[in-house]
Structure 1
């Protein structure tokens, strides 16, 4: 059984709240502490590694994943702008870190990742992606992704005339 890649697969930089403005419409990894959540609305507020508060939409996640998360999590998500101008993250995946995680140490690592002296070691630029459609009726499609051709997904569904595959 094969698994299709999504635009979120790949290299995504770890960030804190101070980096979000540089990653609008990009996928990021956000190590954080869950402060508050509303499971009915599919929203939560988290404390990023640098202490800043970020709103996170969990509406695209399986309810069981949201229910079984630990106190400290790492969110893979896309940065987007709310209608009133604040930046938020649309969660695509949550990874449990533990009930006891050192966010200060994570913030030190994030500082190294974004330090220009180490730009050849880390990927501080992230993956670009098309703007988010927050309607459940219109999920994002790989067909319109600028990365589809780069990672060989632009020809999915086509049959090779010579091999029949």
Structure 2
């Protein structure tokens, strides 16, 4: 099962997952054609390459996608998370999931 795991990341962890599928909870800042500028839970900005038929209508989304480089993720799926989300709490979950003391509780 772990071979299909999609770890939760923030912008600081992008470089650790280049070429791998991840989950990025983020705030949509701007959509321009087939790309969007998003803000990760740690405040860093990332470019998301969108699927052709995706319509981002909520402020917060979770992108499941492949990390292309240290600042870009290519979307495979998108989950609408609404307009009210505690991004500090999201970032705490991301960091806990990468902490060796808790890593056995999370799939990577």
Query: 2:94 matched to 1:94?
Result: no
Unaligned runs of 5+ in 1: 1-8, 125-165
What does residue 44 of structure 1 align with? 36
What does residue 80 of structure 1 align with? 68
Q: Within 1, Cα distance between the matches of 2:94 and 2:22?
A: 12
8 Å CA contact 2:11–2:71 kept in 1: the answer is no
What does residue 105 of structure 1 align with? 89
The size of the alignment, in residue pairs, is 106
8 Å CA contact 1:54–1:89 kept in 2: the answer is yes
Task: Identify the structure with the greater strand proportion.
Answer: 2
What does residue 19 of structure 1 align with? 13
Work out which of the two has the higher radius of gyration on C-alpha atoms and give 1 or 2: 1
Cα separation, partners in 2 of 1:120 and 1:25, compared to 1, 3 Å: same
8 Å CA contact 1:69–1:94 kept in 2: the answer is no
Q: Which of 1 and 2 has higher RCO (CA within 8 Å, sep 6+)?
A: 2
Q: Within 2, Cα distance between the matches of 1:44 and 1:10?
A: 25
Unaligned runs of 5+ in 2: none
Task: Identify the structure with the greater helix proportion.
Answer: 2
8 Å CA contact 2:27–2:59 kept in 1: the answer is yes
Query: 2:38 matched to 1:54?
Result: no
- Give the alignment's Cα RMSD to 1 decimal: 1.5
What does residue 10 of structure 1 align with? 4
